[in-house]
Structure 1
């Protein structure tokens, strides 16, 4: 049995390894069950040692008749401890392709990711880790998926809190014994005994059989997760090296195709994860790599990989969010630092002697960010005639599927700037003059290089 001092020390080691200190804001994901209640109690006692600010959040799924009672119990616990509490109500999709279990998990994590804190702290333990490894392996996960959960994880998309799991090295039986000895009270979720849910079946049926055959099955599976995580880190390092060698965020197509199939697939998975996207199934990714290799180097390609797409045009290869082909609605620019455009934004940066003339903009009747228009022409140089939008896109290596989504700044009905193409000569800044340089930051790896 793990004593009070041992459990506190186990949690403290993870907090220290994650760099938690007086500057840190921790939010405990408080479900009301024994694991999260024990973790919450330990975090309350460790505040004096680390000096962090502690809060708690409870996700109300509305799936159980006891959901209101669980939320109320969590709120009371936080009030008694003097800890700020948030109740997060979510709607769980009933038609999720992964089933109700997956839908509830996605809704829960999406709600928690919006909490304003540095670290979300979860009560996952070693049995949860073993269950997760087994679940993912049985679904055919690769190295990244089989690495399961980390005790602390900062590799999250920007503006989302990191994740801490201080009990990941502790068995559930040890937590339960500690909670009983500490006379803690907790809630029991009746759905945890429902064997129709895959994870419950693994927990109550498959893992007990594995432990009868291999008594150390749970810690062994947890060690396997650590081994997978180490291998995953090495693959990430290789992908970073390959990305640098192939040009960075927008890859040189010829250089990327010179990589072996496994390395190219690894590079694409790594870029997707860095963009906050879920990596596609192995079959879809293998097919995308096959099509990239089969196509001629000058052939444009756009291969959908779930919510993202792998795009190739001339010697450029990049990943982008799979937005609808139509452009967003037009909107007036009134001097804001940025305007949203699709899944990205157009940023207006101050400039001197570059970009759009502030004098021309301030004297205009309307300045509007919108899409291209039929028959649109642009003159980039006074010494040359106006040219068609199609010809300008061809020169700038902008693929056909992206052209409808390019933002255009219209000044009194005239195109003054087009993302990826440039500024019209009639609106360009003179040397030494105050200007504005618009830049389109598209979602994912920006395919429009030199978007100003």
Structure 2
């Protein structure tokens, strides 16, 4: 029996490694807590190293929450030394005031630490019982399709800086792992906090899931199948969001095209963009309210709606996400005829033209031309027949919202404002008919956007 289980577990781990394309050039790191699941996984990975040819290491996260934490770390280090596997120890500080509680704080600290491991794949010991527990936990907290999809056996890397995740035991029951570990004569550490039912997940594991299995004997595999169904639906929603984003112009989105999608698809698109930006997920209520305000507002109404650490902004026909607390603007930059200068999340592009934009002759004769933010008391004359007007009045006339005004790039010529993005060119610097000119345009970066892109 032990050999059958061993072969099943080894085959299951090998199947997931093969699906991920693991081979001789792959670097795998086993997240080794010291418990039975991770110790079993580590042992199986050691046995598969020769046929697959990958480089194997292990990492342990020391949370400092248990009086036994030092002993667990030492046991993991000894295990790796005996196996000849490189070992990394991460000591983390777990926030005691985390809004999600100590469990959530520990998970975040552990994930952040393991994200720093230099490897291609981080291999985790989650099993089918963990999956069922996660699905139940998230459903009881009102999760949507993405949250209820829980964990995947294979998660591709989110970025070049973070390893992918493999969970090769996700289809295996914990009882199978325990039976094999005992048959193999393995020794492991027991975390005393796993018995503390003050922690929500422990209460689910020790009370709710056993009760569900008494009524539905196949509750655990059924919940795991539900996660697969949710993941399939989540993939389809992501594909729909990608199609909608392309149809709405990318970044920034066309506001009118996005609103034409309807509330449900617009909400799905914003949720997808937030997740792609690595933003914290807003509550459903907050997202629904943001979509309601977008749909209810007039087509030209400027909006800035905070969604956690991101803000959804609408200005003219542009709709985009940006950091809720925008990055500081760059210092003044001298312009010597460059094709572009960086600005905020994008750049100001200077294009040649005839009979429009700024007079190239005036620019060439200036002692200093620089790109910089507005200055206090700044005034501008857009029409030579009219007096100068305040920056505030010009912004109001151009329907530029107050939260955007300080971020508008200004081209200064010998201390005078010659051009302001979204407002225009000062009359005294304007190009005459038939004269060679320069047209500045503020363009957004591809990953998030400023509304004055393409506006001279």
Please say whether Structure 1 and Structure 2 have the same fold, judged by a TM-score greater than 0.5. Answer: yes
Residue 245 (structure 1) aligns with: 247
- Whether 2:430 is the aligned partner of 1:449: answer no
Taking the TM superposition and a 5 Å limit, the aligned residue runs for 1:149-164 are 149-154=151-156, 156-157=158-159, 159-164=161-166
Q: 1:418 to 1:87 in 2, by over 3 A?
A: farther
Matched, 1:268 2:262: no
SS of the residue 1:58 aligns to? strand
Task: Report the alpha carbon displacement of residue 371 of structure 1 after superposing the two structures with TM.
Answer: 4.5
Aligned to 1:183: 185
Is the Cα contact below 8 Å between 1:249 and 1:446 reproduced in 2? no
Structure 1, residues 233-272: CA drift from partner, whole Å, max 9, x if none?
1111111111111111211111111122211111111111
Q: CA separation in 1, counterparts of 2:298 and 2:411? A: 35
Structural mapping, 1:43-442, within 5 Å: 43-154=45-156, 156-157=158-159, 159-323=161-325, 328=328, 371-376=373-378, 399-405=401-407, 441=445
Larger Rg computed on CA atoms: 2
Question: Residues of 2 paired with 1:162 and 1:121: CA distance?
Answer: 8
Q: State the SS of the aligned residue for 2:404.
A: helix
SS state of the match for residue 3, structure 1? helix
Structure 2 length normalisation: TM-score?
A: 0.81
Closer, same or farther: CA 261–329 of 1 in aligned 2, 3 Å: closer
Q: Distance in 1 between matches of 2:237 and 2:53?
A: 36
Q: In 2, distance between residues paired with 1:48 and 1:418?
A: 64
CA distance 1:407–1:12, shift in 2 (3 Å): farther
- Of the structure 1 ranges 221-230 and 115-124, higher mean CA displacement relative to structure 2 is found in 115-124
Paired residues of 2:443 and 2:453 also in contact (CA < 8 A): no
Cα distance between partner residues in 1 of 2:318 and 2:444: 18
Q: Distance in 2 between matches of 1:389 and 1:345?
A: 23
- 1:402, CA displacement in angstroms? 2.8
What secondary structure is seen at the aligned counterpart in 2 of 1:312?
A: strand
User: Matches of 1:121 and 1:134 in 2, distance apart?
Assistant: 23
Q: Deviations over 1:319-357 (max 9, x none)?
A: 112115xx63766889xxxx999xx767899x9989xx9
CA-CA distance at 1:414 after TM superposition = 8.0
User: What per-residue deviation string (whole Å, max 9, x for no partner) do you get for residues 286-321 of structure 1?
Assistant: 111111111111110111111111111111111112
Give the deviation of 1:273 after TM superposition: 0.9
Matches of 1:258 and 1:440, distance apart in 2: 23
Superposed CA RMSD in Å reads 4.0
Distance 1:32 1:275 in 2: 34
- Structure 2 partner of 1:12: 14
State the SS of the aligned residue for 2:116. coil
The correspondence for 1:22, drawn from 16, 20, 24, is 24
Instruction: Report what 1:38 is aligned to.
Output: 40
C-alpha distance 283-440 of structure 1, shift in aligned 2 (>3 A): closer
1:14 and 1:152 in contact (8 A); partners too:
yes
Question: Structure 1 residue 20: deviation in Å?
Answer: 1.6
CA distance in 2, matches of 1:451, 1:117: 44
CA distance in 2, matches of 1:229, 1:258: 27
CA distance in 2, matches of 1:273, 1:299: 26
Q: CA deviation at 1:98?
A: 0.9
Q: 1:389 to 1:19 in 2, by over 3 A?
A: farther
From the superposition, tell whether residues 296 and 72 of structure 1 become closer, same or farther in structure 2 (CA, over 3 Å). Answer: same
- Kept in 2: contact 1:328–1:370 (CA 8 A): no
Matching residue of 1:3: 5
Secondary structure at the residue paired with 2:51?
A: helix
Q: Is the 8 A contact 1:32 1:70 kept in 2?
A: yes
CA distance in 1, matches of 2:186, 2:310: 46
Residues 211 and 398 (structure 1), Cα distance of their counterparts in 2 relative to 1, 3 Å cut: same
2:306 match: secondary structure: strand
